[in-house]
Homo-oligomer: A and B are copies of this chain.
Amino acid sequence: MSSVASLAKGAQPHAFAGVFSLLAPHMADLDRFLHGQLGAFEPEIRAMVDYCIDTSGKRIRPTLVFLSGWRGPVAVSPDLVRVAAVVELVHLATLVHDDIMDEADVRRSRRTASREYGATAAVLLGDALFAHALHLATQFPTTEICAAVSDSTRRVCAGEIVQTLRRGSTNITRADYQRIVDLKTAELFRVSCFLGAKLAGFTPDFVEAASRFGRHLGIAYQIYDDLVDFFGDESRIGKTLGTDLASGKLTLPLLALLERLPAAERTTLLGEVTGERPPQPALRIRQMRELGIFSIVAEAVHTEIDAAAAALRDWPTQAPTPLLLGLCDSLRAQLTALRPAETVGS
């Protein structure tokens, strides 16, 4: 099954569903390109790499590359396909490593690489994917692409490290949360837009605008994703709700809940974050609904979506602009669809 086909019938709600048909040929090219890379890996590890590549993922970062570099529905530029593969491989490598650390068994309805090959091999497999992503990034005339990708990769890792070290910690502010999101998610969104616009030959000013767009959309997307963890439909997202609470991650919905709970309840919830008490996700989700947490967090998502759209305000006639703004609309629509029934209109 191609990733595009799987996207269309994806098990998870997809925030950017609207651009699928437009990008179908690009995604098909990307899939061909990624599978064509197998030969670059040592024969002993090709099957493992293939397993990681074939994850029927959402391909959000390639979407950002293709749209930011949009010049019309003509033949896909090989440069864009290559750089889309670079950012997707970096992302896949982080997923492989994330799944080791989260001790995740299943991702996208398949066993994680960590379960399939063991944590040890998965650490190295992620490394090999990183290394090959960077290698592909050297296949451009200048070092600029590779420099941008390696810089972003380091920032993504730094964000994940900060998040990891803060797990189970209750001493986290909204600013800390914002910083983690900015590094671990928004950075790769940002660089995807940067690379797409840059390689398509847009002016430095527009490249900068597209980068800012990507960063804010990335922050919005991560906050949305953190909302899904408490307000999603378990059967659609394919995992139990409240995993962030169970793993001690103080995401924005939990921070907002803490701000609004009475003191005694607050202490109990903090005990669940530190692991001193068993987590009570069902109770916390009910409290979130009662205290209007969805609207508070959704507001933060909207603020970031608006900031993303504002970054493109001066560029209404550039070909990527309406498409990128379409991503904003898609995310807004997904957020509306996620809103719990009892709080609609609240």
Contacts and interface: CB of A to CB of B under 8 A. Distances in A.
Nearest to A101: B120
Interface residues of A, number: 51
B41 A164 contact: no
Given A143-B140, A146-B143, A154 B41 contact: yes
A165 B121 CA distance: 7
Contact of A146 (B123, B126, B138, B162): B138
A143 B138 CA distance: 5
A100 interface: yes
- Count the copies: 2
A125 interface: yes
Contact of A183 (B42, B118, B120): B42
Given A123-B123, A127-B153, A135-B151, A162 B45 contact: yes
Interface string A105-145: 00000000000011111011111101110110111111110
A306 interface: no
B97 A123 contact: yes
Contact of A147 (B123, B127, B135, B154): B135
Nearest to A141: B143
Contacts of A48: 161
A134 B146 contact: yes
A127 B126 contact: yes
A83 to B, nearest CB: 14
A190 interface: no
Interface in A25-48: 40-42, 44-45, 48
A150 B164 contact: no
Interface of A: 40-42, 44-45, 48, 93-94, 97, 100-101, 117-121, 123-128, 130-132, 134-135, 137-144, 146-147, 150-151, 153-155, 157-162, 164-165, 183
* 5 smallest beta-carbon distances between A and B, as pairs: A131-B154, A42-B158, A135-B150, A138-B147, A131-B153
